[in-house]
């Protein structure tokens, strides 16, 4: 019997769901630096856009509690529908089920808050009742404590969820640097969101390959003058 989890993620076989990346939910996150969390989920969203990955954005109690989805995230998908819910478990909302089904892909990549509640309940139900394969983006998700996040990830992995990180997903979609149609866009995401890796790309481009600096505009460099 073939094991679908041995199949790598491709732009053709996967979809993305972003769950409750809203400020009040982020305020409760203690398992990861919140700015890093936002950086990672926005990087993941940009990757999904580059590779035309069907993306579902869902929110909970926006007006009464959680606040609006990060503007930086929404700006990646202008005009995108936001699926509002009352349930902590996204699977309990029919709009979410319909959106996933309409995308027609069984590999569902998940980035959400909080790991131990919204992510876990959705993952378990989507696998049990929807026969989906769940890929949980650990560093684009967050829990109320590190232990809560870690134990939720362990529980999900024991149930069959595949743990991944956002940059892993990006590079798995790219797969081959010979895919020039997405190369430049991927490098742009890397330089903006991938920390030391992105800094290394900037360095290689400018110092080794003598490309112009990525900064906008021009900047005059004054030569050293020893103090007298």
List the structure tokens of 9: 């993620």
Reported as a single tens digit per residue, the pLDDT across 176-211 is 999 999 999 999 999 999 999 999 998 998 888 888
Average confidence (pLDDT) over 59-68 = 95
Average confidence (pLDDT) over 54-67 = 96
Reported as a single tens digit per residue, the pLDDT across 152-177 is 999 999 999 999 999 999 999 999 99
Average pLDDT, the chain: 96
Three-point CA angle 168, 55, 110, nearest 5°: 50
Average confidence (pLDDT) over 4-28 = 97
Q: Are 45 and 73 in contact (CB under 8 A)?
A: yes
Domains and CATH numbers, the chain: 9-172 (3.40.50.850)
pTM of the model: 0.94
Average confidence (pLDDT) over 66-84 = 97
List Cα–Cα distances, 193 to 11, 40, 110, 158, 162, in angstroms.
20, 7, 19, 30, 23
Query: Would the pLDDT of 1 be above 70?
Result: no
Identified catalytic residue from 45, 57, 118, 164: 118
Instruction: Give the confidence band of 25 by pLDDT, cuts at 50, 70, 90.
Output: very high
Q: Report d(CA 136, CA 157) in Å as an integer.
A: 9
Is 118 a known active-site residue? yes
């Amino acid at each position: 019997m073939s094991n679908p989890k041995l199949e790598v993620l491709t732009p053709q076989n996967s979809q993305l769901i972003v769950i409750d990346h809203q400020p009040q939910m982020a305020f409760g996150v203690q398992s990861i630096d919140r700015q890093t969390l936002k950086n990672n989920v926005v990087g993941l969203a940009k990757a999904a856009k580059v590779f035309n990955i069907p993306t579902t954005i869902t929110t909970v109690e926006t007006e009464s509690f959680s606040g609006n989805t990060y503007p930086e995230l929404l700006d990646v998908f202008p005009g995108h529908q936001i699926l509002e819910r009352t349930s902590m478990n996204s699977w309990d909302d029919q709009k979410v089920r319909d959106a996933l089904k309409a995308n027609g892909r069984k590999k569902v990549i998940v980035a959400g808050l909080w790991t131990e509640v919204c992510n876990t309940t959705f993952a378990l139900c989507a696998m049990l009742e929807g026969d989906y394969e769940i890929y949980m983006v650990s560093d684009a998700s967050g829990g109320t404590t590190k232990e809560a996040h870690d134990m939720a990830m362990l529980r999900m992995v024991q149930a069959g969820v595949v743990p991944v990180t956002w940059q892993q997903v990006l590079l798995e979609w790219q797969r081959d640097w010979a895919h020039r149609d997405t190369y430049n866009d991927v490098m742009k995401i890397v330089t903006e969101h991938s920390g030391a890796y992105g800094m290394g790309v900037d360095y290689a481009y400018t110092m080794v390959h003598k490309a112009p600096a990525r900064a906008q505009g021009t900047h005059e460099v004054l030569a050293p003058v020893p103090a007298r």
